[in-house]
A and B are shown apart, each in its own frame.
Chain A
Protein backbone atom coordinates (compact mmCIF):
# COMPACT_ATOMS: atom_id res chain seq x y z
CA UNK A 1 0.00 0.00 0.00
CA UNK A 2 1.26 3.48 -0.85
CA UNK A 3 1.44 6.11 1.87
CA UNK A 4 -1.72 8.15 2.20
CA UNK A 5 -1.58 11.56 0.58
CA UNK A 6 -3.36 14.29 2.49
CA UNK A 7 -4.47 17.43 0.77
CA UNK A 8 -4.99 20.84 2.34
CA UNK A 9 -8.62 21.95 2.24
CA UNK A 10 -8.00 25.64 1.83
CA UNK A 11 -6.38 25.73 -1.59
CA UNK A 12 -7.45 28.84 -3.49
CA UNK A 13 -8.56 28.25 -7.08
CA UNK A 14 -5.44 29.76 -8.60
CA UNK A 15 -3.26 27.14 -6.87
CA UNK A 16 -5.68 24.28 -7.30
CA UNK A 17 -4.58 22.92 -10.70
CA UNK A 18 -0.92 22.82 -9.67
CA UNK A 19 -1.27 21.41 -6.15
CA UNK A 20 -4.10 18.99 -6.88
CA UNK A 21 -2.42 18.06 -10.17
CA UNK A 22 0.73 17.04 -8.28
CA UNK A 23 -1.16 15.15 -5.59
CA UNK A 24 -3.14 13.24 -8.21
CA UNK A 25 -0.29 12.73 -10.67
CA UNK A 26 -0.98 9.71 -12.90
CA UNK A 27 -4.62 9.57 -11.83
CA UNK A 28 -6.27 11.83 -14.43
CA UNK A 29 -6.32 12.56 -18.14
CA UNK A 30 -5.69 15.89 -19.87
CA UNK A 31 -4.19 19.06 -18.47
CA UNK A 32 -4.73 20.18 -14.89
CA UNK A 33 -7.13 23.12 -15.20
CA UNK A 34 -10.19 24.47 -13.41
CA UNK A 35 -13.64 23.19 -14.43
CA UNK A 36 -15.77 25.45 -16.65
CA UNK A 37 -18.15 25.89 -13.70
CA UNK A 38 -16.99 26.04 -10.08
CA UNK A 39 -17.91 23.10 -7.86
CA UNK A 40 -19.50 23.20 -4.40
CA UNK A 41 -22.88 23.78 -2.85
CA UNK A 42 -22.33 27.54 -2.55
CA UNK A 43 -21.69 27.82 -6.29
CA UNK A 44 -24.56 25.42 -7.01
CA UNK A 45 -27.01 27.47 -4.94
CA UNK A 46 -25.91 30.67 -6.65
CA UNK A 47 -26.52 29.02 -10.04
CA UNK A 48 -29.89 27.74 -8.89
CA UNK A 49 -31.05 31.09 -7.56
CA UNK A 50 -29.87 32.92 -10.66
CA UNK A 51 -31.93 30.60 -12.85
CA UNK A 52 -35.50 31.64 -13.59
CA UNK A 53 -36.30 29.03 -16.21
CA UNK A 54 -37.54 31.73 -18.57
CA UNK A 55 -38.21 30.10 -21.95
CA UNK A 56 -37.44 26.57 -20.79
CA UNK A 57 -40.20 25.25 -23.06
CA UNK A 58 -37.70 25.82 -25.91
CA UNK A 59 -35.14 23.65 -24.16
CA UNK A 60 -34.55 21.45 -27.20
CA UNK A 61 -32.85 24.34 -29.02
CA UNK A 62 -29.12 24.60 -28.38
CA UNK A 63 -29.71 28.28 -27.66
CA UNK A 64 -32.58 27.43 -25.30
CA UNK A 65 -32.46 28.34 -21.65
CA UNK A 66 -31.55 25.14 -19.83
CA UNK A 67 -30.37 25.19 -16.24
CA UNK A 68 -26.91 23.58 -16.51
CA UNK A 69 -27.43 22.34 -12.97
CA UNK A 70 -26.68 18.70 -13.76
CA UNK A 71 -23.13 18.69 -12.39
CA UNK A 72 -24.36 20.02 -9.04
CA UNK A 73 -27.15 17.45 -8.91
CA UNK A 74 -24.82 14.65 -9.88
CA UNK A 75 -22.48 15.28 -6.95
CA UNK A 76 -25.20 15.96 -4.40
CA UNK A 77 -24.19 19.64 -4.17
CA UNK A 78 -27.84 20.35 -4.91
CA UNK A 79 -30.76 18.01 -4.17
CA UNK A 80 -33.51 17.08 -6.64
CA UNK A 81 -36.08 18.21 -4.09
CA UNK A 82 -34.78 21.73 -3.62
CA UNK A 83 -34.35 22.18 -7.37
CA UNK A 84 -37.94 21.01 -7.89
CA UNK A 85 -39.17 23.36 -5.15
CA UNK A 86 -37.33 26.28 -6.78
CA UNK A 87 -38.91 25.42 -10.14
CA UNK A 88 -42.39 25.23 -8.61
CA UNK A 89 -41.86 28.62 -7.01
CA UNK A 90 -40.35 30.62 -9.89
CA UNK A 91 -41.47 28.93 -13.10
CA UNK A 92 -44.84 29.04 -14.83
CA UNK A 93 -46.86 27.07 -17.35
CA UNK A 94 -45.53 24.53 -19.80
CA UNK A 95 -41.86 25.26 -19.13
CA UNK A 96 -42.35 24.53 -15.47
CA UNK A 97 -44.03 21.18 -16.07
CA UNK A 98 -41.46 20.26 -18.69
CA UNK A 99 -38.58 21.07 -16.34
CA UNK A 100 -40.07 19.01 -13.52
CA UNK A 101 -40.54 16.15 -15.96
CA UNK A 102 -36.87 16.30 -16.97
CA UNK A 103 -35.80 16.27 -13.33
CA UNK A 104 -37.92 13.17 -12.93
CA UNK A 105 -35.83 11.41 -15.58
CA UNK A 106 -32.85 11.81 -13.24
CA UNK A 107 -34.83 10.24 -10.38
CA UNK A 108 -36.06 7.47 -12.72
CA UNK A 109 -32.53 6.58 -13.82
CA UNK A 110 -31.28 6.55 -10.22
CA UNK A 111 -34.07 4.14 -9.32
CA UNK A 112 -33.34 1.94 -12.32
CA UNK A 113 -29.73 1.79 -11.13
CA UNK A 114 -30.95 0.82 -7.67
CA UNK A 115 -33.10 -1.91 -9.22
CA UNK A 116 -30.59 -3.25 -11.75
CA UNK A 117 -27.20 -2.55 -10.14
CA UNK A 118 -24.14 -3.29 -12.29
CA UNK A 119 -26.42 -4.75 -14.98
CA UNK A 120 -26.95 -1.20 -16.30
CA UNK A 121 -23.39 -1.40 -17.65
CA UNK A 122 -24.44 -4.15 -20.09
CA UNK A 123 -27.36 -4.30 -22.51
CA UNK A 124 -30.53 -4.39 -20.42
CA UNK A 125 -32.46 -5.64 -23.46
CA UNK A 126 -31.61 -6.81 -26.95
CA UNK A 127 -31.24 -3.98 -29.46
CA UNK A 128 -34.36 -3.47 -31.55
CA UNK A 129 -32.54 -3.85 -34.86
CA UNK A 130 -29.90 -6.26 -36.15
CA UNK A 131 -26.92 -4.39 -34.69
CA UNK A 132 -23.27 -5.36 -35.11
CA UNK A 133 -21.30 -2.95 -33.00
CA UNK A 134 -17.54 -2.66 -32.60
CA UNK A 135 -16.06 -1.99 -29.18
CA UNK A 136 -13.55 0.76 -29.80
CA UNK A 137 -13.99 4.46 -30.19
CA UNK A 138 -12.59 5.48 -33.61
CA UNK A 139 -9.57 7.82 -33.41
CA UNK A 140 -11.13 10.40 -35.71
CA UNK A 141 -14.09 10.68 -33.34
CA UNK A 142 -11.94 11.02 -30.21
CA UNK A 143 -9.72 13.56 -31.95
CA UNK A 144 -12.68 15.59 -33.34
CA UNK A 145 -11.41 14.91 -36.88
CA UNK A 146 -14.39 13.22 -38.50
CA UNK A 147 -14.65 15.97 -41.10
CA UNK A 148 -18.24 16.66 -40.03
CA UNK A 149 -18.26 20.13 -38.44
CA UNK A 150 -21.19 19.24 -36.18
CA UNK A 151 -19.81 15.94 -34.90
CA UNK A 152 -16.38 17.47 -34.32
CA UNK A 153 -17.96 20.36 -32.42
CA UNK A 154 -19.83 17.96 -30.11
CA UNK A 155 -16.57 16.31 -29.07
CA UNK A 156 -14.79 19.65 -28.76
CA UNK A 157 -17.55 21.06 -26.53
CA UNK A 158 -17.52 17.92 -24.41
CA UNK A 159 -13.80 18.11 -23.76
CA UNK A 160 -13.62 21.88 -23.35
CA UNK A 161 -16.69 22.50 -21.19
CA UNK A 162 -17.29 19.15 -19.49
CA UNK A 163 -20.91 19.69 -20.40
CA UNK A 164 -23.07 19.22 -23.49
CA UNK A 165 -26.61 20.27 -24.25
CA UNK A 166 -28.99 17.28 -24.15
CA UNK A 167 -29.63 17.51 -27.87
CA UNK A 168 -25.90 17.43 -28.66
CA UNK A 169 -25.57 14.37 -26.42
CA UNK A 170 -28.42 12.68 -28.29
CA UNK A 171 -27.03 13.53 -31.72
CA UNK A 172 -23.54 12.43 -30.82
CA UNK A 173 -24.79 9.17 -29.31
CA UNK A 174 -26.93 8.39 -32.37
CA UNK A 175 -24.04 9.25 -34.71
CA UNK A 176 -21.59 7.02 -32.85
CA UNK A 177 -23.85 4.02 -32.32
CA UNK A 178 -25.98 3.98 -35.47
CA UNK A 179 -23.86 5.67 -38.14
CA UNK A 180 -20.43 4.51 -36.93
CA UNK A 181 -21.59 1.17 -35.52
CA UNK A 182 -19.79 1.62 -32.19
CA UNK A 183 -20.97 -0.07 -29.01
CA UNK A 184 -22.62 2.47 -26.70
CA UNK A 185 -20.18 1.58 -23.92
CA UNK A 186 -17.33 3.30 -25.80
CA UNK A 187 -19.40 6.49 -25.90
CA UNK A 188 -20.38 6.07 -22.28
CA UNK A 189 -16.68 5.87 -21.36
CA UNK A 190 -15.83 9.03 -23.33
CA UNK A 191 -18.66 10.91 -21.61
CA UNK A 192 -17.68 9.57 -18.19
CA UNK A 193 -14.16 10.81 -18.77
CA UNK A 194 -15.16 14.37 -19.61
CA UNK A 195 -18.63 15.26 -18.32
CA UNK A 196 -18.73 17.11 -15.00
CA UNK A 197 -22.13 15.47 -14.53
CA UNK A 198 -21.03 12.06 -15.77
CA UNK A 199 -22.45 9.28 -13.65
CA UNK A 200 -23.45 5.64 -14.03
CA UNK A 201 -27.23 5.99 -14.03
CA UNK A 202 -27.96 8.93 -16.36
CA UNK A 203 -25.02 8.26 -18.61
CA UNK A 204 -25.31 4.49 -19.17
CA UNK A 205 -29.10 4.51 -19.31
CA UNK A 206 -29.29 7.47 -21.73
CA UNK A 207 -26.86 5.69 -24.04
CA UNK A 208 -28.97 2.56 -23.79
CA UNK A 209 -32.06 4.60 -24.58
CA UNK A 210 -30.44 5.84 -27.80
CA UNK A 211 -29.04 2.39 -28.66
CA UNK A 212 -32.48 0.79 -28.08
CA UNK A 213 -31.28 -1.60 -25.39
CA UNK A 214 -33.45 0.29 -22.88
CA UNK A 215 -36.22 1.59 -25.15
CA UNK A 216 -38.61 0.32 -27.79
CA UNK A 217 -36.80 1.84 -30.76
CA UNK A 218 -33.44 3.46 -31.53
CA UNK A 219 -33.19 7.26 -31.36
CA UNK A 220 -31.84 8.95 -34.47
CA UNK A 221 -32.00 12.36 -36.18
CA UNK A 222 -31.63 13.79 -39.64
CA UNK A 223 -29.92 16.88 -41.00
CA UNK A 224 -33.10 18.95 -40.84
CA UNK A 225 -33.38 18.26 -37.14
CA UNK A 226 -29.77 19.27 -36.46
CA UNK A 227 -30.16 22.38 -38.60
CA UNK A 228 -33.37 23.45 -36.88
CA UNK A 229 -32.38 22.90 -33.25
CA UNK A 230 -28.88 24.31 -33.68
CA UNK A 231 -30.22 27.42 -35.41
CA UNK A 232 -28.25 26.52 -38.53
CA UNK A 233 -24.99 26.66 -36.58
CA UNK A 234 -23.09 24.09 -38.66
CA UNK A 235 -25.27 23.30 -41.64
CA UNK A 236 -25.30 26.73 -43.25
CA UNK A 237 -21.64 26.70 -44.14
CA UNK A 238 -21.11 22.94 -44.22
CA UNK A 239 -19.40 21.42 -47.28
CA UNK A 240 -19.09 17.87 -45.95
CA UNK A 241 -20.87 14.88 -47.47
CA UNK A 242 -23.63 14.91 -44.89
CA UNK A 243 -24.59 11.42 -43.70
CA UNK A 244 -27.69 12.83 -42.01
CA UNK A 245 -29.23 14.43 -45.10
CA UNK A 246 -32.25 12.23 -45.87
CA UNK A 247 -35.81 11.71 -44.72
CA UNK A 248 -36.46 9.77 -41.55
CA UNK A 249 -37.91 6.92 -43.58
CA UNK A 250 -34.83 6.64 -45.80
CA UNK A 251 -32.45 6.81 -42.85
CA UNK A 252 -34.45 4.17 -41.03
CA UNK A 253 -34.05 1.75 -43.90
CA UNK A 254 -30.37 2.63 -44.32
CA UNK A 255 -29.47 2.35 -40.63
CA UNK A 256 -31.79 -0.34 -39.34
CA UNK A 257 -32.75 -2.21 -42.45
CA UNK A 258 -36.45 -1.90 -41.80
CA UNK A 259 -39.16 0.65 -41.27
CA UNK A 260 -40.80 -0.46 -38.02
Chain B
Protein backbone atom coordinates (compact mmCIF):
# COMPACT_ATOMS: atom_id res chain seq x y z
CA UNK B 1 0.00 0.00 0.00
CA UNK B 2 1.34 3.42 -0.93
CA UNK B 3 0.97 6.32 1.48
CA UNK B 4 -1.31 8.04 -1.01
CA UNK B 5 -3.64 5.09 -1.19
CA UNK B 6 -5.70 4.65 1.94
CA UNK B 7 -6.75 1.20 3.03
CA UNK B 8 -10.16 0.45 1.58
CA UNK B 9 -13.03 -1.93 2.03
CA UNK B 10 -16.05 -2.41 -0.21
CA UNK B 11 -19.68 -2.80 0.81
CA UNK B 12 -21.57 -5.06 -1.57
CA UNK B 13 -25.36 -4.80 -1.29
CA UNK B 14 -28.33 -6.49 -2.93
CA UNK B 15 -28.37 -4.21 -5.98
CA UNK B 16 -24.70 -4.74 -6.80
CA UNK B 17 -24.14 -8.48 -6.81
CA UNK B 18 -21.64 -8.59 -9.66
CA UNK B 19 -17.90 -8.37 -10.06
CA UNK B 20 -18.65 -5.51 -12.51
CA UNK B 21 -20.20 -3.38 -9.76
CA UNK B 22 -18.61 0.10 -9.95
CA UNK B 23 -17.38 0.09 -6.33
CA UNK B 24 -15.89 -3.41 -6.65
CA UNK B 25 -14.29 -2.51 -9.98
CA UNK B 26 -12.70 0.55 -8.40
CA UNK B 27 -11.15 -1.56 -5.63
CA UNK B 28 -10.39 -5.01 -7.08
CA UNK B 29 -7.99 -5.98 -4.28
CA UNK B 30 -9.87 -4.58 -1.30
CA UNK B 31 -11.76 -6.81 1.14
CA UNK B 32 -15.48 -6.77 0.37
CA UNK B 33 -18.45 -7.50 2.63
CA UNK B 34 -22.05 -8.51 1.98
CA UNK B 35 -24.45 -8.54 4.94
CA UNK B 36 -27.82 -10.26 5.22
CA UNK B 37 -29.69 -7.51 7.07
CA UNK B 38 -31.07 -9.17 10.20
CA UNK B 39 -33.22 -6.30 11.59
CA UNK B 40 -34.72 -5.77 8.12
CA UNK B 41 -35.46 -9.45 7.49
CA UNK B 42 -37.01 -9.76 10.94
CA UNK B 43 -39.79 -7.38 9.96
CA UNK B 44 -40.03 -7.74 6.17
CA UNK B 45 -41.11 -11.21 5.00
CA UNK B 46 -38.88 -12.61 2.25
CA UNK B 47 -39.16 -16.18 0.97
CA UNK B 48 -36.01 -18.32 1.18
CA UNK B 49 -35.30 -18.78 -2.57
CA UNK B 50 -34.66 -15.05 -2.92
CA UNK B 51 -32.02 -15.14 -0.17
CA UNK B 52 -30.42 -18.19 -1.77
CA UNK B 53 -30.39 -16.33 -5.10
CA UNK B 54 -28.50 -13.50 -3.45
CA UNK B 55 -26.08 -15.88 -1.77
CA UNK B 56 -25.32 -17.41 -5.18
CA UNK B 57 -24.66 -13.89 -6.44
CA UNK B 58 -22.11 -13.17 -3.72
CA UNK B 59 -20.51 -16.59 -4.16
CA UNK B 60 -20.10 -15.92 -7.86
CA UNK B 61 -18.53 -12.50 -7.45
CA UNK B 62 -16.21 -13.80 -4.73
CA UNK B 63 -14.93 -16.42 -7.19
CA UNK B 64 -14.22 -13.74 -9.79
CA UNK B 65 -12.24 -11.15 -7.84
CA UNK B 66 -8.72 -10.99 -6.47
CA UNK B 67 -9.58 -9.38 -3.12
CA UNK B 68 -11.17 -11.39 -0.29
CA UNK B 69 -14.96 -11.40 0.05
CA UNK B 70 -16.97 -12.06 3.21
CA UNK B 71 -20.61 -12.69 3.92
CA UNK B 72 -22.26 -12.11 7.30
CA UNK B 73 -25.65 -11.90 8.95
CA UNK B 74 -26.33 -8.90 11.19
CA UNK B 75 -27.16 -5.21 11.35
CA UNK B 76 -25.58 -3.69 8.25
CA UNK B 77 -24.06 -0.47 9.69
CA UNK B 78 -22.61 -2.39 12.68
CA UNK B 79 -21.14 -5.12 10.51
CA UNK B 80 -19.64 -2.60 8.07
CA UNK B 81 -18.12 -0.59 10.92
CA UNK B 82 -16.62 -3.73 12.45
CA UNK B 83 -15.34 -4.94 9.07
CA UNK B 84 -13.71 -1.60 8.28
CA UNK B 85 -12.16 -1.61 11.76
CA UNK B 86 -10.78 -5.13 11.41
CA UNK B 87 -9.12 -4.16 8.13
CA UNK B 88 -7.86 -0.79 9.46
CA UNK B 89 -9.69 0.83 6.56
CA UNK B 90 -9.82 4.59 6.10
CA UNK B 91 -12.25 4.35 3.19
CA UNK B 92 -15.37 2.38 2.44
CA UNK B 93 -16.49 2.16 -1.18
CA UNK B 94 -20.04 1.42 -2.25
CA UNK B 95 -22.28 1.87 -5.29
CA UNK B 96 -25.33 4.03 -4.68
CA UNK B 97 -28.85 2.73 -4.95
CA UNK B 98 -31.95 4.82 -4.59
CA UNK B 99 -33.72 2.88 -1.85
CA UNK B 100 -34.51 4.59 1.46
CA UNK B 101 -32.57 1.76 3.18
CA UNK B 102 -29.38 2.78 1.47
CA UNK B 103 -29.55 6.30 2.87
CA UNK B 104 -30.44 4.95 6.32
CA UNK B 105 -27.48 2.55 6.35
CA UNK B 106 -25.00 5.18 5.16
CA UNK B 107 -26.21 7.52 7.92
CA UNK B 108 -25.91 4.77 10.51
CA UNK B 109 -22.37 4.05 9.39
CA UNK B 110 -21.40 7.74 9.44
CA UNK B 111 -22.68 7.97 13.00
CA UNK B 112 -20.79 4.84 14.07
CA UNK B 113 -17.53 5.72 12.28
CA UNK B 114 -17.25 9.48 11.64
CA UNK B 115 -13.57 9.02 10.73
CA UNK B 116 -14.31 6.57 7.90
CA UNK B 117 -14.47 8.18 4.48
CA UNK B 118 -17.44 6.83 2.53
CA UNK B 119 -16.87 6.91 -1.22
CA UNK B 120 -20.12 6.49 -3.16
CA UNK B 121 -19.90 5.34 -6.79
CA UNK B 122 -22.75 6.07 -9.15
CA UNK B 123 -24.66 3.09 -10.55
CA UNK B 124 -24.76 2.41 -14.26
CA UNK B 125 -27.53 4.14 -16.20
CA UNK B 126 -29.27 3.18 -19.42
CA UNK B 127 -29.91 6.78 -20.43
CA UNK B 128 -28.32 10.15 -19.73
CA UNK B 129 -31.64 11.87 -18.99
CA UNK B 130 -31.59 13.92 -15.80
CA UNK B 131 -34.71 16.06 -15.79
CA UNK B 132 -37.86 15.69 -13.71
CA UNK B 133 -40.15 12.74 -14.46
CA UNK B 134 -43.88 12.24 -14.47
CA UNK B 135 -45.16 9.80 -17.07
CA UNK B 136 -43.31 7.12 -19.03
CA UNK B 137 -44.48 8.41 -22.39
CA UNK B 138 -42.82 11.81 -21.94
CA UNK B 139 -39.65 10.13 -20.71
CA UNK B 140 -39.62 7.69 -23.63
CA UNK B 141 -39.90 10.55 -26.15
CA UNK B 142 -36.77 12.09 -24.61
CA UNK B 143 -34.65 8.94 -24.49
CA UNK B 144 -36.02 6.87 -27.39
CA UNK B 145 -33.21 7.68 -29.79
CA UNK B 146 -30.52 7.05 -27.23
CA UNK B 147 -32.00 3.71 -26.14
CA UNK B 148 -32.80 2.38 -29.61
CA UNK B 149 -29.48 3.37 -31.16
CA UNK B 150 -27.17 3.27 -28.17
CA UNK B 151 -25.91 6.81 -28.57
CA UNK B 152 -26.72 9.83 -26.44
CA UNK B 153 -29.27 12.25 -27.85
CA UNK B 154 -28.02 15.73 -28.72
CA UNK B 155 -28.46 17.96 -25.68
CA UNK B 156 -30.76 20.53 -27.23
CA UNK B 157 -32.46 20.87 -30.56
CA UNK B 158 -30.27 23.16 -32.64
CA UNK B 159 -33.03 24.48 -34.83
CA UNK B 160 -36.17 26.39 -34.02
CA UNK B 161 -34.63 29.17 -31.94
CA UNK B 162 -36.45 32.42 -32.14
Residues of A within 8 A of B (CB): 1-2, 4-7, 9-11, 13, 16-17, 20-21, 23-24, 26-44, 71, 74-81, 84-85, 88, 97, 100-101, 103-108, 110-115, 117-118, 159, 162, 189, 192-196, 198-201, 215-216
Q: In the complex, which residues of chain A have a beta carbon less than 8 angstroms from the beta carbon of B45?
A: 28-29, 189, 193
Contact assessment for A196 and B60 in the assembled complex, using a CB-CB cutoff below 8 Å: no
Q: What's the least CB distance linking B91 to chain A, in Å?
A: 21
Contact assessment for B38 and A27 in the assembled complex, using a CB-CB cutoff below 8 Å: yes
B residues 48-79 in Cβ contact with A at 8 Å: 48-62, 64, 69-75, 78-79
Say which residue of B41, B59, B103, B147 sits within 8 Å of A103 (CB atoms). B147
In the complex, what residue of chain B is closest to A37 when comparing beta carbons? Answer: B53
Contact assessment for B46 and A9 in the assembled complex, using a CB-CB cutoff below 8 Å: no
Say which residue of B49, B123, B132 sits within 8 Å of A162 (CB atoms). B49
Contact assessment for A42 and B98 in the assembled complex, using a CB-CB cutoff below 8 Å: no
With A9-B70, A28-B47, A194-B47 as contacts: A16 and B55 at CB distance below 8 Å = yes
**B29 on the interface (CB 8 Å rule)?**
no
Contact assessment for B126 and A104 in the assembled complex, using a CB-CB cutoff below 8 Å: yes
**B136 on the interface (CB 8 Å rule)?**
yes
Bound-state Cα–Cα, A38 to B140, Å? 32
Bound-state Cα–Cα, A24 to B61, Å? 21
Q: What's the least CB distance linking A162 to chain B, in Å?
A: 5
Residues of B within 8 A of A (CB): 14-21, 36, 38, 41-42, 44-62, 64, 69-75, 78-79, 82, 95, 98-100, 103, 123-127, 129, 132-133, 135-136, 139-140, 143, 147-150
Contact assessment for B52 and A5 in the assembled complex, using a CB-CB cutoff below 8 Å: no
Contact assessment for A103 and B48 in the assembled complex, using a CB-CB cutoff below 8 Å: no
Say which residue of A17, A35, A77 sits within 8 Å of B50 (CB atoms). A35
Say which residue of A9, A27, A97, A201 sits within 8 Å of B58 (CB atoms). A9
Bound-state Cα–Cα, A202 to B40, Å? 20
Contact assessment for B42 and A193 in the assembled complex, using a CB-CB cutoff below 8 Å: no
Q: In the complex, which residues of chain B have a beta carbon less than 8 angstroms from the beta carbon of A75?
A: 14-18, 53-54, 57
Contact assessment for A108 and B139 in the assembled complex, using a CB-CB cutoff below 8 Å: yes
Q: In the complex, which residues of chain B have a beta carbon less than 8 angstroms from the beta carbon of A97?
A: 148
With A75-B15, A192-B46 as contacts: A80 and B55 at CB distance below 8 Å = no
